[in-house]
Amino acid sequence: MYGTLMRAKVTPGNRDAVVALMGEGTGAKGFHATHVLFPDDDDRTVIAAVLFDDDAAYSANAHDPTTERVVRTVPRSSRTTPSGPTAAGPRSPATPS
């Protein structure tokens, strides 16, 4: 499993539009899931995790023209640059000290 994490502040009334954009490209090879979270105490923040089978599938999607269009669109809808995305893959469990 490999993926990206993203957090954005959306302008009032644009949260649904930003979330809809995250649903594009779900047919990409190796795509696994998108999980979108909304903090209980902040109706302008959107947090998302987008998961792929592996680094190769993630990288292919990241360079796809549809993905590039979506990434360019999200900041306009949110008026802030999303923090991230942060690519991450599996790691060994931490060893307790």
Q: How far apart (Å, rounded) are the C-alpha atoms in residues 50 and 65?
A: 17
Per-residue model confidence (pLDDT) at position 88: 56
Hey, where are the domains in the chain? 2-88
- 44, 36 in Cβ contact below 8 A? no
The CA distance from 9 to 78, in Å, is 6
- Looking at domain 2-88, its CATH class is alpha beta
Alpha-carbon distance of 89 to 37, in angstroms, equals 20
Quick: pLDDT tens for 7-66. Answer: 888 888 888 887 787 776 667 889 888 888 888 898 888 888 889 999 999 888 888 887
Which parts of the chain are beta strand (E)? 2-9, 31-37, 45-52, 83-88
DSSP 3-state of 87 = strand
pLDDT of residue 86 exceeding 70: no
Predicted pLDDT at 9: 83
Is there a contact between 48 and 18 (Cβ–Cβ < 8 Å)?
no
Model-level pTM?
0.68
